[in-house]
Amino acid sequence: MDDEDGNEWCELIYSEALRIYKPTKYNTVNKLRFFALILELFAEMQHEDAMIQVKTVNVKLKLRSKNYIFWVFEMPDFQDKTLFLTYMSSKLSQL
């Protein structure tokens, strides 16, 4: 997948996540749950089985027998589309 295809996938996943996500009043919870939803949608689009756990300060992902941890402190606010898409693209390209 080249950069342009990756950006299109990220835009598609981000738009779908925004459509179905129900925010809470807690910013940290929102960041973690929204990114977990992003990971879930990514796994579905890739036809992969994934285990996703939302913890207090991180999201854990098990995908293709590998474990990944995404810290809330590194996640931008998902309502800042440009910044979030940059973060998302960077993280998803590592999977």
Q: Residue 27 belongs to what domain range? A: 3-92
| Number of domains composing the chain | 1
CA–CA gap between residue 43 and residue 14 (Å, rounded): 13
The three-state secondary structure class of 52 is strand
**What pLDDT, in 10s, does the model give residues 10-27?**
999 999 999 999 999 999
Across 59-83, average pLDDT:
96
In whole angstroms, what separates CA 62 from the centre of its chain?
13
- How does pLDDT run across 25-53, given as a tens digit for each residue? 999 999 999 999 999 999 999 999 999 99
